Each structure stands twice: as structure tokens, then as C-alpha cells.
Structure 1
Amino acid sequence: MKLFTRLGGVVLFLLGLLPLGAFAQSQLNYTTSWIGNSFGFGDGKWVQQDIQAISVGADGTVYTNAPWDESGSEIAAYRAGDKIAVAGSTHGWGAAGGDAVAVNHTYLYAAMSIGSENNRLVGADYPPAGQTWFGITRRTLGNIAVGAPFTGGIGNSANATKNSFLLLDTVTTGTDAGIRGLAATESELYVADTYANRIVVFDAVSMQRLRSWSANSPGRIAVDTDSTLWVIGGVSSGTPVISHYAANGTPLSGTLTLPAGAVPADITVTPSGQILVADIGPSQQILVFTKDANGKPQAAAPLGTRNGIFHVIKGVPGNGRFNGVTGIGVDPAGNLYVAQNGEGPRPIGSASVGQGAVLESYVSSSRTLNWRLYGLTFLDSAAFDPANPGSVYTGSKRFTLDYSQPPGREWSYAAFTLNRFDYPGDPTFHQPRGVRGEPMVRRINGQPFLYTLDPGAHYLNVYRFDSAHGEMAIPSGLLAQNPLPGTWPSGQPTYGEWLWRDGNGNGTVDASEISSNPSTGSTVGNGFWWVDTPGNVWLATPTSGIREMPLQGLDSAGNPIYTYASSKMFAMPQPFTRIARMVYIAETDTMYISGFTSAIPWDSTHWKEAGPVLARYDNWSSGTPSQQYTVSLPWNTQSTPQTTTVGVAVAGNYIFVAELYTAKVDVYDARTGQAVGYMTPGANVGNTSGWVDVYLGISAVQRGNGEYVVLLEDDARAKILMYRWTP
């Protein structure tokens, strides 16, 4: 007989007796730390998750811009390795940042957009229904959070940037009319109106329009020492070129001759008149042009290691090993500043936020490092190498941990594992958000393999490693619950499950390597993948039970082999009506399942949650598993914020459950199911974190000294949250 009662809005199940975990827990004694960001937020600072453009002030302050930062730092200021300001008013209420920024001695000018949030925002501060404004926000350098209004300025009447927005283009919502280039002198502001194929010049003080001229999809602009302009054009075509103009728009000779394969992303001019061009092609260098006696640019030795981070040892970061430069700038002393996001500037129409931000400064003469800042993770959780708890993988990074260091200083950036040049067909680039996150690391025959999920756990990607490719994760396989939208890859079915294994070892999804599941049935979609220690793949289907795909060994290319024919199906266990998460411990044949029951059924408003109930089953693979206990997890959908669960991890003798909205990890004894306590973010991370916003957003390990280390996704401020707890 099933009984239930309601305490404080939380339904508690009784299967013969009151389930465990139903009572209030106490806070544990633990240490809060983090991975992947130069700041933890305890000091009110974080490095933004993406930098699309920079401009350098006279005092060496670096001003940044990007369309989106999860916590509103789209436009920010950094100086001498520190973050000194956030502009604000570019996040929410229809506002977003942009792809260009410029400064003179008085003002900051930054590209941004204003929308109506699906027509929910109306009035003079917002565009008409179905439309979006693209333009420029002007701020004072003395306080970039405050607008510098001007006649004709509009927008933001309810905040400190009132009437400081210059409208350039009004377009249908969904059209990308982002400004891709800005440059400023004390008297004039040059604007690359990429969408309208023109360069527009405004008075830098009055913001009144002075003149304009046609240019093919212009992007970044640099003002030379002789007041002429260098402009990267052809941005929307994918084949950018560099043009030279007089300040009045007259085309000039002396254009830059780029090396074969170069893809210019940004351009700047040094105080001595050198022209620097960021190349995001295979060279990953900063091209240098000096001028001869006649003022004609001549190519000189480039800056940085050829191939950047992809030079041997591939993936290892270091000085001058650039990775997707998005912005370059030079201060009056000649110091160089370089922004990177592991990708390069956002393609037109893309919603990409890059693969993690890096901002560096190099000394003018020696080009040795001045300082470096990191904001490396977004939609990205982390997992431990089972052979070494001091090695942690995210979707596209590897970090090493020195546990003897103080909180926030344990981590070092060890590798970037995503290679867009060697493996442009990596499934990562074709899956939602284009971010390779949610990792599991397994050792098969002693060799490491990386398994990753997309944010919604629809696709399980498989990667192998070999010494010849350094730290690169080589695409090895893919298991899909349903077809990917669009035309990629060729050969995928129109319906149902399918898998790919890289039989020829080229890291590319070839149609001949795709297999479809002949009996897909109700197992399609919205399941949850798990890979156990030996490398067997499990799929917790929502309503059809759990399927195991045992590892069939490795093929000649070193890829794990999985087949539908060898699959085993396990029926939906009591008391569940829908499975949301699972953790299988192969060493003890123990299964942990969380999900929904008939008493609290699943509903679509809680589509990403891990459910209100967790159960442990012993002897799972025997065919007659024994249920050891059920636990009522924190669940109250009537509270503010709601109390729901989103992730489950098991390590040693403990279960760690991440709540979705409440920045809390609940801890249970894995042997008994009894509640042990909880952890919340400490003061050194500002007593807060973002939502754990993906299906596999938590992991845990027990170190040899008995300490437990728990890692959680923290999108809010571009880091991985880390708890260290010794029972």
C-alpha cells in the first residue's frame, strides 16, 4: 500500500515506512573553492565568459564587449591584471552587449542591441513589436556604468544610461545587425555598419552624423598614425579582406598583403606606426607590418607561436600560444593586449559565446607576459580522471589541481582539448550551443577516454587520446537519441536513434560509419546517458526502463565499440514512473536512480529536473535487483525560489544531490540513504552561484586522504564551483 503525506509543501512517500532524507539537514563543515576563473566573486569580481572585442585606453585599461555574459558583464574594464568596472545596463530588459568597442580620452563607445523580449516590453525605450534596435551606447570613462547622454540619444529612461543610446539600424527580430567595428579619435567616431554595408562617421562629442560611405560588410577599424583608416571588410562573406581609406572615405593604395590561409579578425596600430593584424586562420598569430620609407606596409616577423595553442604539444597553453583571438590593442607605451575565446569573433547570425575567455598583456619591448586573466567555462561541468583526482576535465579544457594551495588557487589551466582545425567535423560544432560540456572521463585498458553530453543530454560524444595529438580529444564516436536538426551529418536517419563510430580513424563522421537502431520505439528522446567505470554505456529512458550497451572492446583505430545488437534492457523499477538520472557503480553492481513517481509525476515545466525521489538497488545486473532504500529529495514547487533537484553524483560512501535554483548540494550516506547535511557557496565566491543548468552538472571524487571533492557547473560567473569536505 502506498501512503503519502505533505509536510511544508513537500510530498513524502511511504513505502512501508517513511522514506529517508525527509527531514531538515544541517550545514556541513567544508571549504568552498573554484576552478577556471581568475576571480571567485567573493571580491565582487569575475572574468566574463566571452570577449568579442577590446579597446585599450591611454592608461592601459582594457575595455571589453560581448553580446552576452550570464551575470551582466558584457561591457567591462580591466587594468594591470585586475577587473575594475562593469558597465551594466546591457543585460536584461531587452538590452544586450555587442561585438565592438572603442575609447578615446573621454568616452567609451560600445555596440549593443535593444529588443522587446517577445513584445513584452513596450514604450519609447523599446522598438516596435517584432523589431530590434542595433546601435551604440556611450559612457564616460570616469564611470562606465553611467551613460553620456546627447541630443538624439534614446533609451533606458529608467536607469543611469538614459538617452545615451545611438540608434543605427532597426531590423526584424532575429536578424543579426550587430556593429562589427568601432574606432574613435577625440573628434570623430567611426562605425562599421556591417548590416547596411557602410561606414558611418559621427562627431565624437555631439554624436551627430557627419558622413558615410559604402563598404562591403565592414568589420574592425583601426586609425593609423596618419589618420587614415584600416578596415577589415567582407565579414559576412567569410572571406575577409583589409582595405585602406582616407578619413573621408576615399579608397587608398597600400593595402596589406596577407599570407595564404590568413583570416583577419582584428587590426590595430602601434604608437610607432606598426600595423598588427590578428590572424585566426591556422597560424593563430598576430601578423606585423612595418612601413618602408614611402609609407608602404611590409610584412615583418609575426608575434606568437605558429599554430598557437595547436603547436606541439597540441593543446598546451602558454605565452604567445594564441587560441581564437577576438581583439588586439596597444597602449601608448607599446604594451600589447590580446583577447581570445577559443574560437574567434562570433560569426554573423551565431549565438555563440565562445569556448572561454582569456585576456593577456605583453610587455612592449620583450613581449614577455605582463598579466593574464581567465574566464574559461560556460555550460560546462567538470569530471575527474579516475587515475588521478588532481586532473580535471571539462568539455574542452583540462585543469590540474594542487590541493595544498589555498581556495581558488588550487587549479592550473593545463590544456585545451577541442581542435577546430584538425577536426572541423567534431560533433560538438553541430550540437546545441556548439559547446562541448558535461564530461565523464573513463580509463579503458589504462587509456583515457572522454565522454561528453550536450546540455540536454540528447547526445553522447566519445573522444579518444593519443600521444601524437598531444592533449587533443579526437572524435571517436557518437550515440544519438534522435537525429540532429539540419543536414549534418549526411547519412543520419530521419527518425530514431543512431550511432557513429570512427572506423577509419579520421575524426570525421562519414555516412558509411553510421548505424541506426532497428528497434528504437519509445526510447527516443529525453533520456539520460551514463558511462560506467569499465566503459559500458547506459541510457536511462524516460518511461521504458534502462538500457545497457556493453563495451565490445576497442577497434583498430582505438575507438570503443558499441552495438545495438548487444544491448540489454532493464525494466522500469519501482517506484518510478519516469527516470531522470542514474549512476551505476560497476564495481559493486549498485544502481542509483532518481526521478518521478505516480505521487509526484513528471511535468513539462520541470523538464530538466532530476526528480523528487532517489533509490538505490543492489545486484542490479542479476535480473532480480534488491531495492535498499528510497530517499525523498528536496522538492517544493510552490516555494520562492522553487526547491527542485537537477543533478546526482556518487563517490565513496556518499551521494551528492545538486538543487537547481537554491545553490545547495544535499549530502546523503550512500549506505543507508540517511541525510548527512548540505553545502552552499561560501564567502570567497560571494555566497552565491548560478543555477546548475544542465543534466550532468555535478561530479564528485573521494581522494586517498578521505577528502571528498565536489564540482558543479556555475555558468553565472564562468567557473566550476568546488567543495572540499572531509566527513
Structure 2
Amino acid sequence: MKRFTLSMTCLLALSLAPHADDARAQLAYTTSWIGNTFGFGDGKWMQQDIQALHVASDGTVYTNSPWDESGAEIAAYRNGDRVTVAGATHGWGAAGGDAVTSNGSYVYAAMSIGNQGGGLVGADYPPNGHTWFGITRRALGNIAQGAPFAGGVGNSANATKNSFLIVDTVPAGADAGIRGLAASDSELFVSDQYANRIVVFDANTMRRKRSFDVASPGRIALDADGSLWAIVGALTGQPAVAHYSATGALLGGAPVLPNGTVPADIAISPSGDLYIADIGPGQQILPYKKTATSALQAATPVGTLNGVNHAPAGAIDAGRFNFITGIGFDSAGNLYVGQNGAGPRGLNSASVGSGAVLQAFRGTSRSLLWELDGLVFVDGADFDPGAPDTVYTGSKIFTMDWTKPPGKQWTYTAYTVDRFTYPDDPPLHIGRGVRGEPMVRRLNGNRPYLYTLDPYSHELYVHRFDAAHGSIAIPSGMFAETFISGGFPANQPSSGEWMWRDINGDGRLGGNEFTGNPSTGSTVGNSFIWVDSAGGVWFGTPTSGIRQMPVQGFDAPGNPIYSYAASKTYPMPAPFTRIGRVLYVAETDTMYVSGFTQAVPYDAARWKEAGPYLARYDNWSTGAPVMTYVIALPWNTAGSPPVTTVGVATAGDYLFVAELYTQKVDVYDARTGAPVGAMTPGANVGGTSGYVDVELGISATRRANGEYVVLVEDDARAKILMYRWTP
């Protein structure tokens, strides 16, 4: 058992109650951001996901997705700028959807309305235990304004009153999302995937006119002759493209798609050609030109073969597509492409995607006209210690140019996920289905390794890089605190803590690559997991002390080797009764611990918080660590909003503590524990940010010029908040 030395200064510090706000000095710093075209100082942000888009003749792009954290599920963009947000699709039972279209009078968008588990009652909501899926109709000139009709329902308290058409009423939890919409000035065509049919409504009265059977219909597009092109079998695993008359008669002429093609969207160009977005390995847009006999002839694909996975793998460039979710044309023939790194929900992914990219390409040259990005959601960021101008998130790499103005300093340079080569990549199957919360470490001859944590620190994922795979992060290892339900990974031990290492180097979770640790039982459950600069993995268990798993070397593929037998265990350090965070600095043998004490005991309602106290311990690994100080952190759970802490980072001579609800980063001198000041979002980001909603939502670095850069998760508007401060 290790012995902890406690100084009289620390004993005095413990008598101080955590404070809500000590009016500490506002530091001289600048605010910037990474990963979103807009910062919100102008009132705009690029939405975090695009599930579908539609392009009007004037180049206005209408988008839709089931969820955007700040309510931009349905939005309009034009000429590289955001025009407006539809609203009334977020909260109070409402959500966006998976399809959108327009005609000369209206915008029609898929959405759903629930009742929040029976908490919402009345004519605006479905009966308890059910959800409505249908279409919201909006005024073309102002999509925030509903276009009501007889029989329309919903939103009686806002500007979209009675503008929702119920298509399906289904049991709560069922997915009856509308996956395709197309409209003429007289008729609205709806892919009712839940009922395996396409339904036709009067575009003006919204009365049902007819329907015809189609197996799992997805995206649809109206041709100039009034016929309908449709993706069929969208959820059967065998999607194809079919051609129908407006009344549902199956027509000939549908193209036979190349092997491996997975059609995600279809569009008709102004010249009448058919374009199909492929999210199979090809990752291209496939044009089929009409001949003199109206037959379709395959033409040269748009975009680079294999998209973002074309060599050099992961590199970002215009035309290297990354799972297209929507395509469309304006009257000038400009092509618009929406992507989210995962593909349409249900067709290829159950998630809300891995960040939104909206691009416009000029006419026949296909040169990039403009691009809008909303790339980061529930994700942290970390600097590469071996490349100080490089920032990683869970799935992306940004390159910084510090000479540029705030919000323009970042360039999106690489995407590190390859779903085709490494379909077993564990974060793609667990939780949100995306990687997040990165820790970048230089190991094994200064090679970069990407460790990522799930939002609430239940699993730690390890990824390696090599020259042959470019910027792709290869699944290398994994730590799990307990058995993971849901069927993945199939070969995991049936109970207890375990880890996996990619012994054969194929990036797959083979059955002989798992190691269980039944001796720990459940003691590591709900630990905070941290990786130090030497690759050591630390578990700050809630009540069983701290465990270290040092790297035991590297195997032939380059995976770090860990062993339960080589673990080192440290008892619960005084004065803590429950640990919230651990952060070990290997270079100085310093341990920082935050959590709860007898003075402020653990409250289960604060399960993801870092805690009201933070302590520094020197000579941690010697057998007689010395506690240098204890800091009473900002803490007032009775406040409105509450004041609590959620993230801790250190760099150089300073500690940075992120508050959960109050949009503040508190700065302390790491040598003495003395408060230095605080940083809050500046005017260029609207003076606000979202909650830091994950356990590893803050990181920091000290640049060679002495400047400190602090990166903070902004859960609200698809970006990373960045503070730059020189003491």
C-alpha cells in the first residue's frame, strides 16, 4: 500500500467549501473554433448531420436530418451561406427526418412527432405509446412559417400550426421514417417505407389521391415526363433503382448498377440525365445519360474512385466523397452534394452521422464552388504531441495555420475511418456508432497512436497508423470495463472486464485475441480512463483506488501490449472518497485527481461530473507520494444553472477545468494550485457554447512560443471551442 503525505497547507485547503464563483479575473485571451464553417457570432452554425437534401432551381439547398443539437434539423443554404432554419422540429416531441423536397409553392420535409413517453398530451400529439411520422409543409419564401391545410395537425402554439400531415401512426420506438419525397406543382410523392408503398397526395390540398406497392422504397425523383425513379429495397440489403409511371406501373429502362453499388440518392439533371449516388466502395456519383431513343447510357462517374479512401487514404479533397446522403442540381446544372461519413440513416448507419459536409460543384467542370462544414458532435479534440499544428478528433484531422483570423485557422485535412477495410472498428458498433474523445500519444519510435474514449468512459479504443494506410486509424486494441450487450463484439468474454489486441494485424476482433480479467470483478466499473504520454492506461475507479497498466512493448503489427498481470494498483488517495478524474503526467511523476470527499460526498445525480475537489500528488510512483495541494473547485448544485465541473486538462504550468453548465474554463497554477483566472466564450462565437457533455471534453497544449491553446467540446453547434492565451 502506498503512503500519502499530507501538508498542513492541504489540510487548511480542505476546510474550504467549494465555491460557485469567486469573481476571479477574466484573462486576456482570444476565442476561436474548429470544425464548423460558422462560429455562431453571426447567429449561424452548420448543422451536424445531413440525411437528405433537395435543390431548388435557384440553387437554394434544403436539408433534413432527424436531429441537430441546436434545432437546425431542416435548414436552407444558398451561395455558400445559411439562409434560414425551419424550426418546430426540435423538442416538444418533434424531430426532423430523412427526406425533403419542394415545388413552386412549398417545401415538404419528413419529420416525426412523439409525446415524450406520454408526457405530452392533447390534439398536437399522438396517443400514448405511439409516434406520428409524416410531412411538414412550409411556405417556400419562409420555411419557418407553416403552410396549413385542412386535416393538418400539430404545433398549435407556433407558426407551423396545422401544417403536419400524418402518414403513419406507429408504436413508440418503431422507425417509420419517410425516406423519399418528390413534388410537382400538383402532386406530392411519398416513400412510405413502413408500409412498403409510394403514396401520392395532392400537393395543394394534401389529400391522399392514390398509392402503389413498392418494396422498401427510399429516395425518389420525378422525371420531366412525369415518371418516377425510385430506390427500392432500401432496407432489404439489396437496394436497386426502379422506374415507375406516375400511377405506379413499372417501366423499363432502369440501369443495371455495377457490382458493389449501394444507391443512396438519385437526381435528374437539367439535361434530363439520371444521377445515382453510390455509397458502396466506389463512393462516386454515377451518371446515366439519355440517348436519342431515351435509353440510358452510363457516363464517366463524378468524383474520385473509392472517395476519401483512395490513396493517400483518408486525405480530404473536393471530389473525394465520404458517404453521400443527398445530391441535386439547380437550373444552371451546378451539382450539390451532402455527406455525413456514414450514409443515410437505416440504409448504412443507425447513427446521426460523423459530421456534415455540403458542397457545390460548378456545371460540367465540377470545380468546387463552395463548401460548408459541421464536422464535430459529442467529440473532443487533442493536439498531436509530435506535430504541434495538428489536431485530432475521434475521426478527423485538422491542420492549423495560426496566422489566420479566428475560425479560419483550421483546415480539414483527413478522415481517419475506413468502414470498408475495417468494418469491425469497435466504436462504429458501440454507443453512437462514431469515434470520439481522443488522446493522441507518440509511442514506439515516435509513431502516432490514437486512443479514444466513449462519452462516459466505459470503453477505451486503441488505433495505430502506418505508412501503407495513409491517415486511416487501424483498430489496434480495446479495453472494456464489463460485458457489452448488443451482440458486439461477438467473441468477448461472457462476463467481467476484458481487453482485445489485434494480434494478427488485420483490424478484426478475432476470437483468440481477447483477454479477460475476472479477478477484478466489477471494481473498475464506471472508472475514468486516462492514457499518459508513455501509453500507460490509468483507471480511476470510483471507490477502489487507481490502477495503472503500463505498456509492455509492441507486437509485430505495432500494437501496444498490455497485461493485467503487470498492472499496478494504488489505494484511494486521501482525501477522496470517490474519484471523478485522474490525469498522470509521466514526465514529472505527477498525478492529478479530482472527485468527492467527506466534505462534499458523491451524489448519484452528478454521475458524470469531475467533482468539487482537485488534488496534486508528486512522486506518485515512488511508494510515498506527496500531496502538494487540494483545490476547492467551483461547485454549487443549488444554483440555476448548477455550477459543477466536468473536465480537467493540464499543459505546462497550468491546469484547466471545464464547468459543465456554465460555459466557463477555470485556470489554476499547476505548481501551487492558486486560481489564475477564467475564460468564457467570446463574441465571435455568440458569447455561448453548449454543455461539455462528455467526460473527456477538454484538452490543452503549450506551444513553442509560450501560448496555451485549450480545446473544449461544444455540444451545441458542431464545433470545438478554442481558447488561445499567453500568460
Calculate the TM-score normalised by the size of structure 1: 0.97
Distance, in Å, in 2 between the alignment partners of 1:542 and 1:430 is 26
The residue type equivalent to 1:212 in the other structure is: S
Distance, in Å, in 2 between the alignment partners of 1:16 and 1:296 is 81
Report if the CA contact (8 A) 1:75-1:86 is conserved: yes
State the 1:715 CA deviation: 1.7
State the 1:595 CA deviation: 0.5
Report if the CA contact (8 A) 1:382-1:720 is conserved: yes
The residue type equivalent to 1:585 in the other structure is: V
Report if the CA contact (8 A) 1:218-1:232 is conserved: yes
State the 1:23 CA deviation: 3.7
> Structure 2 stretches of 5 or more lacking a match?
1-9
Distance, in Å, in 1 between the alignment partners of 2:518 and 2:126 is 51
Report if the CA contact (8 A) 1:94-1:116 is conserved: yes
| Residue of structure 1 in register with 2:715 after alignment | 715
Is residue 281 of structure 1 aligned with residue 257 of structure 2?
no
Q: 1:518 to 1:155 in 2, by over 3 A?
A: closer
Distance, in Å, in 2 between the alignment partners of 1:180 and 1:435 is 22
Distance, in Å, in 2 between the alignment partners of 1:406 and 1:369 is 23
Is residue 157 of structure 1 aligned with residue 159 of structure 2?
no
State the 1:474 CA deviation: 0.2
| Residue of structure 2 in register with 1:271 after alignment | 270
State the 1:238 CA deviation: 2.1
| Residue of structure 2 in register with 1:632 after alignment | 632
Is residue 535 of structure 1 aligned with residue 535 of structure 2?
yes
Distance, in Å, in 1 between the alignment partners of 2:13 and 2:115 is 50
Instruction: Write out per-residue CA displacement over residues 595-652 of structure 1, whole angstroms, 9 at most, x where no aligned residue.
Output: 1112211122111100000000000001110000000101101000000000000000
| Residue of structure 2 in register with 1:580 after alignment | 580
Distance, in Å, in 1 between the alignment partners of 2:12 and 2:159 is 55
Q: What secondary structure, in the 3-state scheme, does the structure 2 residue paired with 1:468 have? A: helix
Instruction: Write out per-residue CA displacement over residues 79-111 of structure 1, whole angstroms, 9 at most, x where no aligned residue.
Output: 010001000000000000000000112110000
The residue type equivalent to 2:355 in the other structure is: G
| Residue of structure 2 in register with 1:520 after alignment | 520
| Residue of structure 2 in register with 1:457 after alignment | 457
Q: What secondary structure, in the 3-state scheme, does the structure 1 residue paired with 2:68 have? A: coil
| Residue of structure 2 in register with 1:229 after alignment | 228
Distance, in Å, in 2 between the alignment partners of 1:566 and 1:465 is 26
Instruction: Write out per-residue CA displacement over residues 144-186 of structure 1, whole angstroms, 9 at most, x where no aligned residue.
Output: 0000001111110000000000000000000000000000111
State the 1:293 CA deviation: 2.3
Distance, in Å, in 1 between the alignment partners of 2:579 and 2:599 is 14
Report if the CA contact (8 A) 1:176-1:348 is conserved: no
| Residue of structure 2 in register with 1:368 after alignment | 367
| Residue of structure 2 in register with 1:245 after alignment | 244
Report if the CA contact (8 A) 1:496-1:524 is conserved: no
Report if the CA contact (8 A) 2:72-2:86 is conserved: yes
The residue type equivalent to 1:358 in the other structure is: V
State the 1:435 CA deviation: 1.6
Distance, in Å, in 2 between the alignment partners of 1:449 and 1:584 is 18
| Residue of structure 1 in register with 2:547 after alignment | 547
| Residue of structure 2 in register with 1:51 after alignment | 50
Instruction: Write out per-residue CA displacement over residues 681-711 of structure 1, whole angstroms, 9 at most, x where no aligned residue.
Output: 0000000000000010000000111110000
The residue type equivalent to 1:617 in the other structure is: Y
Distance, in Å, in 1 between the alignment partners of 2:485 and 2:559 is 25
Answer with 22-31 or 336-345: which moved more: 22-31
The residue type equivalent to 1:328 in the other structure is: I
The residue type equivalent to 1:88 in the other structure is: G
| Residue of structure 1 in register with 2:344 after alignment | 345
Q: What secondary structure, in the 3-state scheme, does the structure 1 residue paired with 2:432 have? A: helix
Report if the CA contact (8 A) 1:19-1:631 is conserved: no
Q: What secondary structure, in the 3-state scheme, does the structure 2 residue paired with 1:706 have? A: coil
Distance, in Å, in 1 between the alignment partners of 2:157 and 2:349 is 30
State the 1:489 CA deviation: 1.5
The residue type equivalent to 1:120 in the other structure is: G
The residue type equivalent to 2:545 in the other structure is: G
| Residue of structure 1 in register with 2:5 after alignment | none
Distance, in Å, in 1 between the alignment partners of 2:374 and 2:273 is 30
State the 1:18 CA deviation: 4.2
Q: Give the number of equivalent residue pairs.
A: 716
Distance, in Å, in 2 between the alignment partners of 1:451 and 1:295 is 54
| Residue of structure 1 in register with 2:657 after alignment | 657
Is residue 466 of structure 1 aligned with residue 435 of structure 2?
no
The residue type equivalent to 2:546 in the other structure is: I
Instruction: Write out per-residue CA displacement over residues 547-594 of structure 1, whole angstroms, 9 at most, x where no aligned residue.
Output: 111111110110000010100000100010111101110000000000
Distance, in Å, in 2 between the alignment partners of 1:205 and 1:375 is 34
The residue type equivalent to 2:351 in the other structure is: S
State the 1:19 CA deviation: 7.8
The residue type equivalent to 1:576 in the other structure is: F
Report if the CA contact (8 A) 1:503-1:557 is conserved: yes
State the 1:14 CA deviation: 4.4
Q: What secondary structure, in the 3-state scheme, does the structure 1 residue paired with 2:519 have? A: coil
The residue type equivalent to 2:303 in the other structure is: G
The residue type equivalent to 2:156 in the other structure is: S
Q: How does 1:24-423 map to 2 (within 5 A)?
A: 24-347=23-346, 351-423=350-422
Report if the CA contact (8 A) 2:48-2:377 is conserved: yes
Q: 1:533 to 1:666 in 2, by over 3 A?
A: same
Q: What secondary structure, in the 3-state scheme, does the structure 2 residue paired with 1:432 have? A: coil
Q: 1:106 to 1:615 in 2, by over 3 A?
A: same
Report if the CA contact (8 A) 2:377-2:719 is conserved: yes
The residue type equivalent to 2:258 in the other structure is: P
Is residue 605 of structure 1 aligned with residue 602 of structure 2?
no
Distance, in Å, in 2 between the alignment partners of 1:299 and 1:17 is 77
Report if the CA contact (8 A) 1:58-1:105 is conserved: no
> Structure 1 stretches of 5 or more lacking a match?
1-11
Q: Pairwise CA RMSD of aligned residues?
A: 1.3
State the 1:235 CA deviation: 1.4
Q: 1:654 to 1:19 in 2, by over 3 A?
A: farther
Q: What secondary structure, in the 3-state scheme, does the structure 2 residue paired with 1:558 have? A: coil
Distance, in Å, in 2 between the alignment partners of 1:84 and 1:131 is 34
Report if the CA contact (8 A) 2:13-2:631 is conserved: no
Q: What secondary structure, in the 3-state scheme, does the structure 1 residue paired with 2:54 have? A: strand
State the 1:292 CA deviation: 2.2
State the 1:16 CA deviation: 6.9
Distance, in Å, in 2 between the alignment partners of 1:264 and 1:715 is 32
Distance, in Å, in 2 between the alignment partners of 1:414 and 1:294 is 45
Report if the CA contact (8 A) 2:107-2:137 is conserved: yes
